[in-house]
Amino acid sequence: SIASADMDLNQLEAFLTAQTKKQGGITSDQAAVIAKFWKNHRTHIHESLINQSHWDNVLKNMNWRVDLKSQLRHIDQINTPVAIVEMELGKNGQ
C-alpha cells in the first residue's frame, strides 16, 4: 500500500498510525522500522515499480473508424455506432 500510493512522510505516518491501532495490526516498533526503511529506499522502490510497469512494446501505428449499423433484426439496434480500433505494436527501438 505504501509503495503503490508513493506515500509522502505525512501520509506514511498517518497510514502507520492507523495500522498500529488496528486489531491484529503492527506494533509501534514495526511501524518505526517500516518508516525508516521507506524514508531510506523510497526513490529506489518507486523507480523499480515504474520499470516493472513499462511495456517492452511501443505503439507503431493506429487506425480507427466508427461504423453505423444499417440493417439488423431489431429496429432499435439500427444506427448504433460501433468503434473499430486497430493498433500495431512493435518492440522498442525497432
Task: Show me where the domains of the chain are located.
Answer: 9-53, 58-90
Return the number of other C-beta atoms located less than 10 Å from residue 21's C-beta.
Answer: 9
**5-34 confidence digits (pLDDT tens):** 999 999 999 999 999 999 999 999 999 999
pLDDT attached to residue 93: 62
Dihedral, CA of residue 25, residue 29, residue 32 and residue 33, to nearest 10: -100
Q: Residues 71-82: pLDDT tens digits? A: 767 676 667 788
For the chain, percent of residues with pLDDT exceeding 90: 51
Instruction: Assign 49 a pLDDT band (cuts: 50, 70, 90).
Output: confident
Contact by Cβ (8 Å): 68, 80: yes
Q: Which of 60, 67, 71 is nearest to 84 (CA)?
A: 67
pLDDT at 30: 95
**Angle at which helices 28-53 and 9-21 cross, to 10°:** 130
Is the confidence at residue 62, as pLDDT, over 80?
yes
